[in-house]
Amino acid sequence: RITFGGGAPQLWRGTIALSDGRFGDAQLLGLDSDEPGSMALGPRTIQIRQPSPRTYDGLDVDVHAPLDATLRIKLHANDAPAAGRDFQLRLADLTTGIHPSGPDGADRLDETGNRLVVSRAPGDALRVTFERDHLVFSPGETFRFSIVPHALTAEAGASLRLKAEIVSRASGRSLFAQEQDVRLDMEGSAAPWGPWEFVVPEGDAVYDLNISASRRGRFDTLVAANPLAEIKPVAERQVQLVGIGESPTATAPGGEELLDEFDPLTPNWTERVARLPLLKHLPRMQKGHLSAGRSSAIEHLGRKWTQLDPDAWQAHPLSIDAPGAPHVLEVEFPNDLPQTLGVSVIEANAVGDVEPLGVDSAVRVEPLASGQIADIARHRLVFWPRTRTPVVLLIGHDAQRPAVFGRVRVLRLGENLGVDASAAAAPQPRMIAAWFDKPLGPEMFSAAQQADGPTRRSLDDWRTFLESTTRLGKYLRYAGYNTAVMPAIS
């Protein structure tokens, strides 16, 4: 895997060349719409000719060459050819670790933070072979696969124990398990292990195939003496597969259940600080405070309301007893006071970080038209909390006018958001479409992510996409739509 970027957008030019051997299949990793055609693959040379500046680019490529061959990478910005870098890396060194390695700046491409990263492609050491072009199954289909240890970083002739287990991504329940001892050849490889068969269960679900190769021999004595002893595997890999039925799982519509209700003006609202684990992540929030900017109480429509000065905000923790279930956040506001009130649900991701994109909404109130009556309105935001203590952020988005709101409620919905799925699926005479400006379904619907230990990043996986698309369908029925329109990368 060869990637470059991470700094200011650049229009890169360069070559990737082998001193011996040849390149095989390649897969471009860039996300820009003009990525096809940005690299030309030859037997021993790959030409990099980007049509537009970008912050990230790269490719996965098969290399068929002896380990003493050299991979040479030359890169320069289009407007600064003299400032380019020339990297020479031995294939033998690329079997482990991240390269170029060495003193600080060894991987630097320019002064704006762009870097080159070369490493073995994920999963190359424990290859999984199967006769399909995808891993999306119908319930009852059989997943047939074999595992091929390839160029593992262990001494020639080493004895390793291979383990393979398939578990439910949602519940962690083990559904398949096998293990076997193998001996590596002089190149660190072994014969294919398998084939194995796994029948995909009923229902919509994601499954993890977890594979590991661990040393045998003297380490067995250590494990026998101390079952808690941890032996780090020589190699690990995870492959995900998905089971999708032809029709949604039938569940009762369900009703609404009030879980939490509070008024920010009540005397005990600051006691909720103790339940707010995300304090340190919120901008400008100091220890012991739940707000920024000035807030006050006003009288209107025969009751008191919280008023935030322009650009001021307040944050309040919510009580959730069933993370992953659909909920509604309800915020009261007067329908006759012009304002723009932002309402967001903030949560940490799989590695504990708060990301800028999430469950965000806003209320824009215009002056009442003739004949309309001033009254209490309610903004309802459907969300699927990932944790037991998410935070609601209330912020004034109008630079001239204050934001005004009242009581805040949290209600739990039924699995189908209170909608009869069979009735909602009936044909409708006209299209009622929801328009999504960006394909941010996982962020909008708080789909689960997976924590990647080595990089400490929260990554999308098949469960992320299954949850987000399932929740999208339920939300469309709940909101009265029968169509979704959103952009996609083709």
Residue 455 neighbours by CB under 8 Å, 6+ apart: none
pLDDT single digits (tens) 107-162: 999 999 999 999 999 899 999 999 999 999 999 999 999 999 999 988 888 999 99
pLDDT at 416: 87
DSSP string, 293-355: S-EEEEEETTEEEEEE-TT-EEEEE---SSTTS-EEEEEEEETTS-EEEEEEEE---TTSPPP
Task: Give the three-class secondary structure for 33.
Answer: coil
Q: Which amino acid is at 321?
A: D
Tokens read off for 277:
């684990």
The residue type of 5 is: G
Q: How far apart are the first and last CA of the chain?
A: 23
Say how far apart CA 302 and CA 378 lie, in whole Å.
17
2-119 adopts what CATH topology? Immunoglobulin-like (2.60.40)
Residue 226 CB coordination number (10 Å): 9
C-alpha atoms less than 13 angstroms from C-alpha of 241 in its C-beta half-sphere: 25
For residues 402 and 307, the answer to whether their CB atoms sit within 8 Å is: yes
pTM of the model: 0.78
AA letter at 449: Q
For 75, counting Cβ atoms within 10 Å of its Cβ (0-12 exposed, 13-18 middle, 19+ buried), the class is: buried
Q: Which residues pair with 160 in a beta bridge?
A: 182, 215
- Please, are residues 327 and 383 in contact by the beta-carbon 8 Å criterion? yes
Print burial letters for 333-372: b (CB count within 10 Å at least 16), e (below 16).
bbbbbebbbbbbbbbbbbeeeeeeebbebebebeeeeeee
The predicted structure's pLDDT at residue 154: 85
Angle at 446 between CA 461 and CA 362, to 5 degrees: 145
8 Å CB contact between 466 and 449: no
Kindly give the parts of the chain with pLDDT less than 50.
Answer: 280, 282-289, 490
The three-state secondary structure class of 80 is coil
Pairing mode, strands 98-99 and 174-183: unpaired
What per-residue confidence (pLDDT) applies to 355?
82
Pairwise CA distance, residues 250 & 37, whole Å: 46
Q: H or E segment at 468?
A: helix 462-479
Helix (H, G, I), strand (E, B) or coil at 478: helix
Phi-psi sector, 383: left (phi>0), alpha (psi -120 to 50), beta:
beta
| Cα–Cα distance measured from residue 221 to residue 227, given in angstroms and rounded to the nearest whole number | 10
Under CATH, which architecture does the 126-243 domain have? Sandwich (2.60)
- The tokens for 440 are 């941010």
Q: Do domains 126-243 and 256-349+358-413 have the same CATH topology?
A: no
CA–CA separation, 117 and 100 (whole Å): 7
Distance of CA 419 to CAs 318, 342, 473, Å? 25, 27, 11
8-state DSSP, 372: -
Q: In the prediction, which pLDDT does 285 show?
A: 41
Domain boundaries, the chain: 2-119, 126-243, 256-349+358-413, 421-485
Instruction: Please state which architecture CATH assigns to domain 256-349+358-413.
Output: Sandwich (2.60)
Beta bridge partners of 317: 391
3-class DSSP string for 351-363: CCCCCCCCEEEEE
> SS3 of 467, please?
helix
Pairing mode, strands 70-77 and 39-41: unpaired
Q: What angle do CA 222, 223, 229 make, to 5 degrees?
A: 95
